[in-house]
Amino acid sequence: MLKEKIINILSESIGKIYTDINIDINCDIPKNSAHGDLSVNIAMQLSKQLGMPPRKIAENIINLTSFDKNIIEKVEIAGPGFINFTFTNSYIIECLTTILNEIDSFGKQEIGKGKKVNVEYVSANPTGLLHLGHGRNAVIGDTIANLYQWIGYDVTREYYFNNAGNQMNNLAKSIYARYMQIDNSDFQFPEDGYFGEYIKIIASELKEEYPQKIEGNENEVLELCRKKGEEWCFDKIKNTLKRMKISQEVFYNEDSLYTEGKIAAVIDEFKKLNLAYEKEGALWLRLSEMGLENDRVIVKSTGEPTYRLPDIAYHREKFKRGFDIIVDVFGADHIATVPDVMAGIKALGYNPEQVKVLIHQFVSLTENGELVKMSKRTGKSYTLDDLLDEVGEDVVRFFLLMRSIGTHLEFDLALAKEQSERNPVFYLQYAYARICSIFDKANELSKLKYDLNLLKSNEELNLIKKLLLFPETIRNSANKFEPHIVAEYLRDLASLFHIFYHNCRIIGIDETLGAARLKLAEATRSVLGNGLSILGINAPERM
């Protein structure tokens, strides 16, 4: 709200002063509060275009701009040409009134009204249990979907799963081998099989259903094992996601691309465009004619498509479904595939700029500075469920969100286990619960008249100013596809609330002032609750 006010004032003014200039205005919060509430570097941005010293440009802007003294208390030029703004207390209080009027809906926007966004995330093959990397993917995607809903988009949450190809064949062979080993320990296990303990569990369940022998030829037997494994794994995956409050409306089956002829249609289209050719028994895509360095195989000589082809066909279907923005959340191991798929999409006549591919880095689990590979509870490699069992859903979600997606994430297990204010999740939840406790104790105070103009201390005003940044924080986080921006904002907000709480009494003082401070606490509780809901984290009233 504060940044919007300054941007609107300056945009109108600069448009009149420098009519041929079109430039984005950026506002930042000065590190030193003595430099005001907001700082703008527009003079430095314009200096090269106008051929003038930044300070001279800043002086022109200030001298030729009409500032409402009821809103702007002070405007100063600092350093090489920064323009610093200080708002009046009365305007800050007026903005607090807006928060209280909107309360639970404060922060919601209509930027995306009438637009559709598809967010695809998790998309793990149904060949095993979810691990920590899948968990990071899941919470990033789910939170981005939440952010887009908050700014008004029609959001579709999607899971794309591959239940075809070699990995499913290997799953079937692995299950069958473990099934046979129940009665014959010497039965050979495939070298490229899945060695996890869960394969033995699936095999034992299969043994209960077929205690003697699975009837049928080899293909029929393996198909039954494959189907059993797929259903078992996918059921476990969905249950794990449910624990993390993650649900998706669409589960898109890769196999349908083949059965419904969509793979064949893409191949035909590439051939018509003279972008596909045969060589050494394989089908190649002319990526070298699409701006990339080398052509790539899209169908092997065995007749099996490479990953590029179904991915191109799948994205084509997303475009056909009418999405304005398509968000893909991938792990770092997918980074090499992206340029090929985007080039293919562009060649088919679609705009790849509508596709936002988010690559998150890997997760490592540490405890007391040491890398943790095995679960103490199970004695085996950590699964996402193991971690959820150990530290809880809220902690897992927050820890997987609290760093930029492009950075390697170290999940500190020792810190995650702490039930103290050192744990950032408990720190946020404790702030929310503390406000709920205040309302329990100050029930009568909440019914009294209040005067927000009594809120004049630095602790009160700093807290209000932080609350006013919430809508912009949501926009910024969504636009940059960085959920950690909201997480960091909430930590700062909780810190300012704790300072306010310790320095500004609510109960046992003048009732009108106490009631005003209680209203400020109410606004803080609402923003904390809204922010936690975006991150998919509970806001407990008691701790």
pLDDT, tens digit, for every residue of 38-47? 999 999 988 8
How many angstroms separate the CA atoms of 41 and 296, rounded? 47
- Fold for 421-535, please state it: Isoleucyl-tRNA Synthetase; Domain 1 (1.10.730)
| Under-70 pLDDT residues of the chain | 374-379
Q: At what angle do helices 54-63 and 2-17 cross, to 10 degrees?
A: 100
Contact 524, 469 (CB under 8 A): no
DSSP symbol at 305: B
Domain with CATH 1.10.730.10 in the chain: 421-535
Q: What is the pLDDT of residue 378?
A: 60
Q: What is the pLDDT of residue 163?
A: 84
How many angstroms separate the CA atoms of 388 and 122, rounded? 17
Q: What is the pLDDT of residue 377?
A: 57
Query: In sequence order, what are the beta bridge partners of 276?
Result: 285
**CATH label, 2-87, candidates 1.20.1250.20, 2.40.30.10, 3.30.1360.70, 1.25.40.10:** 3.30.1360.70
Contact 396, 241 (CB under 8 A): no
Residue with tokens 């899945």: 194
Q: What is the pLDDT of residue 375?
A: 63
How many angstroms separate the CA atoms of 349 and 409, rounded? 37
pLDDT tens-place string over residues 412-438: 999 999 999 999 999 999 999 999 999
Half-sphere exposure of 407 (CA within 13 A, CB side): 11
> If residue 3 lies in a helix (H) or strand (E), which one and from where to where?
helix 2-17
Number of residues written out for the chain: 543
Q: What is the pLDDT of residue 376?
A: 60
How many angstroms separate the CA atoms of 298 and 268, rounded? 13
Name the token pair of 290.
């699409």
Q: What is the pLDDT of residue 66?
A: 87
User: Shortest CA distance to 310 belongs to which of 265, 372, 271, 356?
Assistant: 265
User: Shortest CA distance to 138 belongs to which of 405, 414, 532?
Assistant: 405
Contact 390, 384 (CB under 8 A): no
Domain with CATH 3.30.1360.70 in the chain: 2-87
Residue with tokens 């018509």: 272
Name the token pair of 45.
């941005």
